[in-house]
């Protein structure tokens, strides 16, 4: 059996969206609280992480998966956050039953406290009945500790999901060492998937970047007269490209409105830009239904992820999938996390400078109705069914069946 990397192009997805190789679907998931409602009370919980996780879970539910989630209530380190965040249950909208562990949130104690709590809870759950696999959402130390204990004590297959570079590990060598006992890897970044395949020969790797719940391109407001409207929705950080976007916007000469959503904090450069440029509005973090309304009214979107940033290798800008679901032009930088197929779907900036990004934004805005329709058709053909979450859930199910659970324990 070939244990190399599995890409979307390597698999034929049947139209029925059901796996012909159905096996055990009971799994243990170590990751963020799978709840959009939790975002309103936990500022340290990542909206992007929850959105991606909830999307995958919808696809896994379609394949009959039954997951138990182990999570915690993230806080800023004490004294800026609570010393003991507690174990209050996850909100009712959590996708799967969620076990919230407590921890000491003090400097020097948080990592060890979380590792102990996750390991204890994971072993307790497995003692009640076997799980077909354990999956970790990023190789955080507490996830690794719990998964390692399950591998060593119960021979539970471990699937490691790498969503971004939480280890500040541009070569991914630390990741390879931390997850050396994993039976397989699911990687969002195209470049990181190739790198892991090289670093860990013989270990199954699935490249699974992202998806959409449904196609919204036909429901989006049609292109027509009026002031163009460019939307950015994401984190207001250096690695997300906020400084690049702030530098690019003044170079866009068109009469266009910019709507910035996402982070619940503030970027100093964005604050200054808004005080000087009336075209820019920042609405902050908004719930999914409000994002949908904003995206339907957009003329174009922008993804300013900086190509040269060290974290860009091991991350996939998941906001792209939200944008593409509306079938509209997306002005974007090009980062290594993107698979080549996206080049034909994006308005790619010719470089990583503010001027290059501004030119890409103006190009996206200048597209006429015919060009926009051609682009919309290409985007839809790519997304449906290949990048629906139901399809990605099936791909993971087949990866689990054929590459992980098909291997005898002694061969792992």
Q: How far is residue 169's CA from residue 175's CA, in Å, rounded to a whole number? A: 7
Distance between CA 196 and CA 226 in Å, rounded? 48
Same domain for 139 and 111: yes
Please tell me which residue, 358 or 44, carries the higher pLDDT value: 358
CATH number of the CATH domain containing 401: 3.40.50.2000
* Residue 218 within any structural domain of the chain: no
Q: Do 168 and 255 belong together in one domain?
A: no
127 within a domain of the structure (yes/no): yes
The edge-to-edge listing of strands for the beta sheet with 184-187 is 5-6, 205-207, 184-187, 158-162, 133-137, 26-30, 66-72, 98-101
pLDDT at residue 106 tops 90: yes
- Whether the per-residue pLDDT at 242 is higher than 90: the answer is yes
147 plus 260 within the same structural domain? no
Shared domain for 34 and 77, answered yes or no, is yes
Residue 65 lies in a domain: yes
Residue 273 CA from chain centroid, whole number: 28
User: 307-338, pLDDT tens digit by residue?
Assistant: 998 888 889 999 999 999 999 999 999 999 99
- Would you place residue 219 in the very low, low, confident or very high pLDDT band (cuts 50, 70, 90)? confident
Query: In this structure, are 340 and 403 located in the same domain?
Result: no
Q: 332 lies in a domain?
A: yes
* One domain for residues 146 and 258: no
Whether 20 is in a domain gets the answer: yes
In-domain check, residue 224: no
pLDDT in tens, 250-273: 999 989 999 999 875 678 899 999
Shared-domain flag, residues 347 and 402: no
Considering the domain architecture, whether residues 118 and 241 belong to the same structural domain is answered as: no
The token pair at 117 is 């709590």
Is residue 98 in a domain? yes
At 407 the pLDDT is 58
Average pLDDT, the chain: 90
Does 251 lie in the same domain as 114?
no
How high is the pLDDT of residue 310?
Answer: 83
pLDDT bracket for residue 224 (50, 70, 90): low
- What pLDDT does 403 receive? 84
Does the structure show a pLDDT above 70 at 12?
no
Q: Is the CB of residue 183 less than 8 Å from the CB of residue 204? A: yes
User: How far is it, in rounded angstroms, from Cα 244 to Cα 237?
Assistant: 10
Asked whether the predicted pLDDT for residue 48 surpasses 50, the reply is: yes
Q: Is residue 156 in some structural domain?
A: yes
Has residue 282 got a pLDDT over 60?
yes
Q: Are 11 and 128 in contact (CB under 8 A)?
A: no
Q: What would the mean pLDDT of 221-247 be, rounded to a whole number?
A: 87
What is the rounded distance in angstroms from the CA atom of residue 274 to the CA atom of residue 272? 5
Residues 85 and 198 in one domain: yes
The tally of domains found in the chain comes to 2
The reported pLDDT for the residue numbered 102 is: 97
> What average pLDDT does range 363-387 have in this prediction?
96
Using CB atoms within 10 A of its CB, is residue 106 exposed (0-12), middle (13-18) or buried (19+)? middle
- Are residues 238 and 276 both part of a single domain? yes
Provide the domain limits for residue 276.
229-383
What is the model's pLDDT at position 19? 43
> Are 398 and 328 in the same domain?
no
Confidence grade of residue 22 (pLDDT, cut at 50, 70, 90):
very low
Read off the pLDDT of each residue in 143-169 and give the average, rounded to a whole number: 94
């Amino acid at each position: 059996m070939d244990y190399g990397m599995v890409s979307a192009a390597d698999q034929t997805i049947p139209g029925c969206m059901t796996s012909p190789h159905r096996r055990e679907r009971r799994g243990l998931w170590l990751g963020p609280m799978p709840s959009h409602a939790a975002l309103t009370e936990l500022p340290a919980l990542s909206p992007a992480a929850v959105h991606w996780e909830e999307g995958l879970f919808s696809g896994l539910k379609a394949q009959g998966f039954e997951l138990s989630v182990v999570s915690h209530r993230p806080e800023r380190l004490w004294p800026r956050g609570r010393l003991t965040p507690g174990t209050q249950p996850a909100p009712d909208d959590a996708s799967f039953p969620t076990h919230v562990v407590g921890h000491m949130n003090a400097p020097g104690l948080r990592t060890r406290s979380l590792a102990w709590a996750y390991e204890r809870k994971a072993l307790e759950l497995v003692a009640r009945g076997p799980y077909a696999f354990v999956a970790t959402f990023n190789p955080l130390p507490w996830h690794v500790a719990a998964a390692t204990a399950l591998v060593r004590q119960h021979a539970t297959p471990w699937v490691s999901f790498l969503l971004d570079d939480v280890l500040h590990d541009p070569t991914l060598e630390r990741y390879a060492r931390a997850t050396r006992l994993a039976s397989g890897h699911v990687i969002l970044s195209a470049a990181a998937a190739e790198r892991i395949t090289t670093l860990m020969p013989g270990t199954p790797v699935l490249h699974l970047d992202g998806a959409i719940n449904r196609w919204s391109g036909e429901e989006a407001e049609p292109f027509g007269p009026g002031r163009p409207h460019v939307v950015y929705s994401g984190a207001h950080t250096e690695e997300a490209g906020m400084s690049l976007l702030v530098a690019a916007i003044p170079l866009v000469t068109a009469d266009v409105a910019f709507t910035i959503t996402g982070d619940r904090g503030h970027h100093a450069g964005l604050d200054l830009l808004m005080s000087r440029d009336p075209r820019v509005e920042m609405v902050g973090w908004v719930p999914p239904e409000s994002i949908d309304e904003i995206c339907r009214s957009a003329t174009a979107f922008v993804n300013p992820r900086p190509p040269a940033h060290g974290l860009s290798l091991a991350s996939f800008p998941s906001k792209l999938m939200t944008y593409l679901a509306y079938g509209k032009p997306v002005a974007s930088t090009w980062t290594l996390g993107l698979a080549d197929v996206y080049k034909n779907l994006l308005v790619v900036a010719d470089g990583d400078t503010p001027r290059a990004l501004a030119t890409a934004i103006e190009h996206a805005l200048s597209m006429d109705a015919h060009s926009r329709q051609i682009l919309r058709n290409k985007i839809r053909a790519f997304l449906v069914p290949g990048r629906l979450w139901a399809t990605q859930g099936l791909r993971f199910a087949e990866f689990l069946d054929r590459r992980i659970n098909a291997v005898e324990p002694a061969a792992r």
